[in-house]
């Protein structure tokens, strides 16, 4: 039976991962929500803010850079994505080689349903920083939102080559593998993500991955409650 037909009427709790944190705050760490075979991306504000802090301060910082990014993030948090985009484009005129700025712009564009433009921004972030695991993961999320599962898997794997313990990317990869009927690998990948989140005491993520694994077990064996 095709996986998409099996997923009908099944709700898989989204994992918060990827951005202006997915974006959030701009950094994205989105997870997939599988309903009727479709993917809807949801990102918790807390995980976005965490991702944002990690990415934002991974490079050099100045008072002006910090101020401009805070302004963009404030607009993002108000869901004024157009305003955040305008702010970030001004920011990038002053700091054109700022990888995080391009990453954040990608998050804002994705929130505005501009997937191709978002990918271009993420790719620019990667061009400036080849080890930008968050950006590879974000591109994977965009592909997943379009049901382009194999392309999403490729990007998640690139992210994990840089950081093998990137729990959000592992979670996203596991869900993408499930969508392509690679069930055993999907479960193993999610179990690895689960262990990483436990070690990091990220209890919300632990719960979410556990819920996804339970849904998968139910699909494999309907007798499992």
Residue 56, burial from CB neighbour count under 10 angstroms (0-12, 13-18, 19+): buried
Q: How many CB atoms lie within 10 A of CB 50?
A: 18
pLDDT tens digits, 27-41: 333 322 222 233 333
Q: How many CB atoms lie within 10 A of CB 79?
A: 10
Task: Tell me, yes or no, whether 225 lies in a domain.
Answer: no
Closest CA to 170 of 120, 224, 145, 206: 206
Task: Tell me, yes or no, whether 187 lies in a domain.
Answer: yes
pLDDT at residue 220 in the model: 76
Task: Tell me, yes or no, whether 70 lies in a domain.
Answer: yes
Please give the residue that has the higher pLDDT: either 9 or 173: 173
Look up the domain containing 45 and give its range.
3-220
Average confidence (pLDDT) over 66-89: 93
The answer to which of 15-24, 92-101, 203-212 has the lowest mean pLDDT is: 15-24
Closest CA to 177 of 140, 139, 126: 140
pLDDT at residue 96 in the model: 96
pLDDT value at 188 more than 60: yes
Task: Tell me, yes or no, whether 39 lies in a domain.
Answer: yes
The answer to which of 60-69, 96-105, 116-125, 149-158 has the lowest mean pLDDT is: 60-69
The answer to which of 39-53, 64-78, 194-208 has the lowest mean pLDDT is: 39-53
Q: How far apart (Å, rounded) are the C-alpha atoms in residues 99 and 131? A: 11
Average confidence (pLDDT) over 174-202: 95
Average confidence (pLDDT) over 175-200: 96
pLDDT value at 211 more than 90: yes
pTM, whole model, 2 decimals? 0.76
pLDDT value at 150 more than 90: yes
pLDDT tens digits, 92-104: 999 999 999 999 9
Rounded to 5 degrees, what are φ and ψ at 56? -65, -35
Residue 149, burial from CB neighbour count under 10 angstroms (0-12, 13-18, 19+): buried
pLDDT at residue 222 in the model: 66
Q: How far apart (Å, rounded) are the C-alpha atoms in residues 16 and 81? A: 19
pLDDT at residue 219 in the model: 84
Q: How far apart (Å, rounded) are the C-alpha atoms in residues 12 and 33? A: 6
* CATH code at position 15: 1.25.40.10
Using alpha carbons only, how large is the chain's radius of gyration in Å?
17
As for how many domains the chain has, the answer is: 1
CA 184 to the chain's CA centroid? 22
């Amino acid at each position: 039976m095709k996986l998409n037909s099996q997923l009908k009427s099944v709700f898989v709790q989204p994992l918060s991962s990827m951005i202006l944190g997915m974006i959030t705050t701009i950094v994205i760490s989105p997870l997939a929500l599988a309903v009727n075979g479709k993917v809807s991306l949801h990102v918790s504000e807390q995980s976005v803010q965490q991702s944002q802090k990690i990415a934002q301060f991974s490079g050099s910082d100045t008072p002006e850079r910090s101020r401009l990014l805070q302004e963009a993030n404030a607009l993002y948090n108000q869901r004024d994505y157009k305003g955040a985009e305008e702010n970030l484009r001004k920011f990038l005129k002053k700091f054109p080689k700022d990888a995080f700025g391009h990453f954040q712009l990608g998050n804002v564009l994705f929130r505005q349903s501009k997937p191709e433009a978002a990918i271009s921004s993420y790719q620019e972030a990667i061009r400036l920083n080849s080890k930008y695991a968050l950006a590879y993961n974000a591109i994977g999320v965009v592909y997943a939102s379009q049901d382009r599962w194999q392309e999403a898997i490729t990007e998640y794997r690139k992210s994990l080559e840089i950081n093998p313990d990137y729990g959000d990317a592992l979670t996203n990869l596991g869900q993408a593998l499930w969508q392509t009927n690679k069930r055993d690998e999907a479960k193993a990948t999610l179990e690895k993500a689960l262990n990483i989140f436990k070690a990091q005491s990220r209890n919300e993520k632990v719960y979410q991955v556990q819920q996804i694994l339970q849904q998968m077990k139910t699909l494999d064996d309907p007798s499992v409650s």
